[in-house]
Amino acid sequence: MKFILSSLKLLKAIQALSGVINSSNTLPILDDFLFDINDDELKITASDLETTMTVSIKPDMVEGKGQVTIPARLLIDVMKNFPDIPVSFNIDEATLAIEITTGEGRYKMVGHKSDEFPQVPVIAEPSVWDIPADVLACGFEKTIFATGNDEIRPIMTGVFMAMSDTCLTFVATDAHKLVRYRRMDVKSDAAASFIVPKKPINQLKNILAGRADEPVHVEFNNTNASFTFGEYKLICRLIEGRYPNYEAVIPTTNPNKLIVDRQLLNAAIKRVAIFSSKATHQIRFKINGQELVLTAEDLDYSNEAKERLTCNYSGEDMEIGFSSKFFQEMLANLSQTEIQLEMSAPNRAGIITPVDNQNADEDILMLLMPVMLN
């Protein structure tokens, strides 16, 4: 078997797939890429048994057909050090010896048999969605930071996706914070939902970035989902179980409303948070009239900070504590100039929403549980 293609084209493909490969695998074959050469097409696959990703490339020249697995790390390291030049792969079908030749260079490595490589899962009787790439990337980007890491509650470690006849919804929560992102411009007559794990989400959002409104073809059943776009296809095992009733935890009556410049607030929280307790990251919001006072203290080291901000506030004067770490994450995942913080009581969740959202088809709500004030 033989094929010739651009080193840069190959490097881009294998780097996109490399995120699927774990740093330590129980099966040695999972440290390899599967190369499937057929007619005028080369398919390269990476898998960790839970997530499988394939990229299809058209080489400049192909001779013969067959399969071989090639050590992933070694191949990436070699390709990273080539300029953009044609590289030729010559594979001995009997010994699986691989010879890579460039203008003046010759490099040899040994491949492995492909029969131990996991089969690509087939999704039986799938439901189908078509979602613009930028919508999917944005939905994942806005929610993934709010997912949990507790393996005792695996349902909370992924992003919940639901389609209805009114919108497409993305939800993530770790019980301390929650993000709900809706798109009214994507809908389906048949309501359906599933929970996507974090690893395939990270793979997808990295590759989807900058693909504008190119459609992503989504197929799914109760156990697996596939995402196909351009030359890429990703198949992953879904998180099984019933997602919590997140709507029930979003307080609907919040008479105290604070509007403030997002960047000014974020910068102030960053400065004040340096003086907060390293255990709780607690920061105190004291709202009085049109003034917001942020304070933090670390009693162990006698550190203390206070900063004033002007704001637009309607409601009763109040004091409420939040985790500065979580609050900063939420502000960083919004792009609007001003945000609104809605509250009902110091022991009830605060709701953060953008004030001047330019996109009428987009709706984002962030919920943050308070921390008990010392």
pLDDT > 90 fraction of the chain, expressed in percent and rounded: 90
The pLDDT confidence band at residue 373, using thresholds 50, 70 and 90, is confident
pLDDT on residue 299: 85
**Phi and psi angles of residue 239, each rounded to the nearest 5 degrees, phi first:** -80, 125
Looking at every residue in the chain, the average pLDDT score rounds to: 95
Neighbours of 318 (CB within 10 A): 16
Mean pLDDT, rounded, for 118-130:
94
The pLDDT confidence band at residue 287, using thresholds 50, 70 and 90, is very high
pLDDT on residue 254: 96
pLDDT on residue 151: 86
Residue 143 has pLDDT above 80, yes or no: yes
Residue 364 has pLDDT above 90, yes or no: yes
The span from the CA of 185 to the CA of 206, in Å, is: 23
Residue 22 has pLDDT above 90, yes or no: yes
pLDDT on residue 99: 97
The pLDDT confidence band at residue 16, using thresholds 50, 70 and 90, is very high
Neighbours of 103 (CB within 10 A): 7
The span from the CA of 348 to the CA of 198, in Å, is: 28
Residue 308 has pLDDT above 80, yes or no: yes
Q: Strand pairing partners for 90?
A: 2, 99
Residues in the chain: 374
pLDDT on residue 231: 94
The answer to whether domain 127-247 and domain 250-368 are alike in fold is yes
Give the model confidence (pLDDT) of 53-103 as tens digits: 999 999 999 999 999 999 999 999 999 999 999 999 999 999 999 999 998
Q: Strand pairing partners for 220?
A: 127, 225
Q: What pTM was computed for the model?
A: 0.94
One-letter amino acid identity for 340?
Answer: Q
Instruction: Give the β-pairing of 338-343 and 291-298.
Output: unpaired
Instruction: Give domain limits for the chain.
Output: 2-116, 127-247, 250-368
Give the model confidence (pLDDT) of 205-255 as tens digits: 989 977 777 899 999 999 999 999 999 999 999 999 999 999 999 999 999
pLDDT on residue 59: 96
On whether the CB atoms of residues 257 and 314 are closer than 8 A, the answer is: yes
Q: What radius of gyration, in Å, describes the C-alpha atoms of the chain?
A: 25
Q: Does domain 2-116 have CATH number 3.60.20.10?
A: no
Higher pLDDT, 14 or 358: 14
Q: How far is CA 3 from its chain centroid?
A: 34
The span from the CA of 16 to the CA of 314, in Å, is: 49
Architecture, CATH, for domain 127-247: Roll (3.10)
The span from the CA of 350 to the CA of 369, in Å, is: 6
User: Structure tokens of 309?
Assistant: 């901000």
The span from the CA of 241 to the CA of 320, in Å, is: 34
Higher pLDDT, 328 or 357: 328
Residue 374 has pLDDT above 70, yes or no: no
- What is the per-residue DSSP string for 117-171? SPPPP---S-EEEEEEHHHHHHHHHHHGGG----TTSGGGGEEEEEE-SS-EEEE
The pLDDT confidence band at residue 312, using thresholds 50, 70 and 90, is very high
pLDDT on residue 139: 96
Mean pLDDT, rounded, for 92-115:
94
Pick among 3.40.190.10, 3.90.1150.10, 3.10.150.10, 1.20.1250.20: CATH of 250-368: 3.10.150.10
